[in-house]
Structure 1
Amino acid sequence: MTPAFTHCALHVRDLDASIEFYRRYCSLDIVKEHGEGKGRTVWLANPGAERTFVLVLLGGGPARTQGKDDMTHYGFGVPAREDIDRIAERARAEGCLHWEPRNYAPPTGYLCAVRDPTGYVIEFSHGQPLGPHGDSA
């Protein structure tokens, strides 16, 4: 038996703000939705990956805080190094940049991190050997 990693579920403070954030920063779309009010839940995925991996957002969660030295995060790969700089610039202007862009030795690559509306930290990276934009070197 080999279990498959299919989803990550997060309780979020403001579901609609979180949906908008993940659309704008991560290009995720709603693929399933059920419930109402605090029980409302959405599944988000990259186009074409709806049956592979989803981010599940559950409404009604508490705000979160995380220190700059706490490396707890989840990550998204991007196709170009310049994408990291664009994401960081937007996040800086919107007051949600968590880690400035920085370069790390392989396999980590070039990255920055952004806080979502609940306070979860999302890393954006280029040069990691993961996902469709992975560096095969």
Structure 2
Amino acid sequence: MKLKLISHALAALCIANSGQADESVLILGKGVYKDLCTNCHGVDGKGGGDIGELFAVTPPDLTKMSARNDGKFPFPKAYQIIISGQKVAGHGPLEMPVWGDYFMADALQDRGLSKSDSIDAAAGRALSVTYYLESIQE
């Protein structure tokens, strides 16, 4: 399932116009971020979420992703982390949820979509969050 989500997103990335998302994609991404990410990463993306301090590894400042990557937003890596989570060796247990599985299950159960369509919906939600993160870089 994850491989399909990643391959669908990579196809979408090849079609995307140089990292520029339209306003509707950013609105969707911001909404998903607000619903699922703010508890850990904070409303502003700087890592100051309500429960972030409880983790072995403090959630990172998501507004500095480009700065940590020589000024270029790491779009494919950010997308992959959203879909598959991130393993950080030596820093305690994995704390970030694997949102790709959540998006897929949500589309299958709550939306009543076919498996194929739910893969596309999950990839789209993850892409919208990734575009939103790109838009908040400082």
TM-score if structure 2 supplies the norm length?
0.30
Q: Please state which structure has a larger fraction of its residues in helix.
A: 2
Which protein has the bigger strand share?
1
Q: TM-score normalized by structure 1?
A: 0.30
Tell me: higher relative CO, structure 1 or 2? Use CA pairs within 8 A at least 6 residues apart. Answer: 2
